[in-house]
Structure 1
């Protein structure tokens, strides 16, 4: 993808995410992350401030962060469906990342 095409895709994707209620966040924070890719933009979600599992106290520092594959998968499916509805082509990259392609410029 050309530099200009990548920039147009990023602008369109950021606008769509904002309209869908998602904001891109700073590196290292929780939320939606965008990473430029040779074929488009990788998008992922980093859940960090999820409530600890039931039965563990808020001060229990020995409890590992919960592994939330079901929640991450559900979020990814919902985000992919919303972005497809906004006109993007989506490829899944495991349950953590989506590859967003610009369907107006991407040719198979």
Structure 2
């Protein structure tokens, strides 16, 4: 993907996110992040204004809960966002690192 194609894809992804009610936020802030990638656009999310639920103290000899960073909520948000982007016509790869990779499906390549 050349620089012009990458820029067009980034603009289209930003527009689609805005239509879906998501706004890109500044670096270091909470919310939806977009990063240019060699294959497309990476989208990540940092929850904002969410207080983790209070968990009871673990019983003796029981390991602590391994989910202190709301990974279930992050996963659900990622799946919903991926489905919405797919509905907008993009190809989206979900990644184990909780980022989505949006690929350009509108460019015809030989």
TM-score, normalised relative to structure 1: 0.84
Give 2:87's aligned residue: 85
1:11-36, Cα deviation, whole Å (9 max, x unpaired): 10000000000000000100000000
Whether the 8 Å contact between 1:76 and 1:97 is mirrored in structure 2 is: yes
More strand by percentage:
1
- Mapped to 1, the partners of 2:52 and 2:82 lie a distance apart of 27
Q: Which runs of 5+ in 2 are unaligned?
A: 57-67
The alpha-carbon deviation at position 47 of structure 1 amounts to: 1.2
CA RMSD of aligned residues (A): 2.1
- Mapped to 2, the partners of 1:93 and 1:43 lie a distance apart of 10
Give 1:47's aligned residue: 47
| CA distance 1:106–1:84, change in 2 (3 Å) | farther
SS of residue paired to 1:32: strand
Runs of 4 or more above 3 Å deviation:
none
The alpha-carbon deviation at position 3 of structure 1 amounts to: 0.4
- Mapped to 2, the partners of 1:99 and 1:79 lie a distance apart of 11
Give 1:97's aligned residue: 99
Greater gyration radius: 2
Aligned residues: 100
The alpha-carbon deviation at position 50 of structure 1 amounts to: 1.2
- Mapped to 1, the partners of 2:52 and 2:100 lie a distance apart of 26
The alpha-carbon deviation at position 93 of structure 1 amounts to: 1.2
Give 1:20's aligned residue: 20
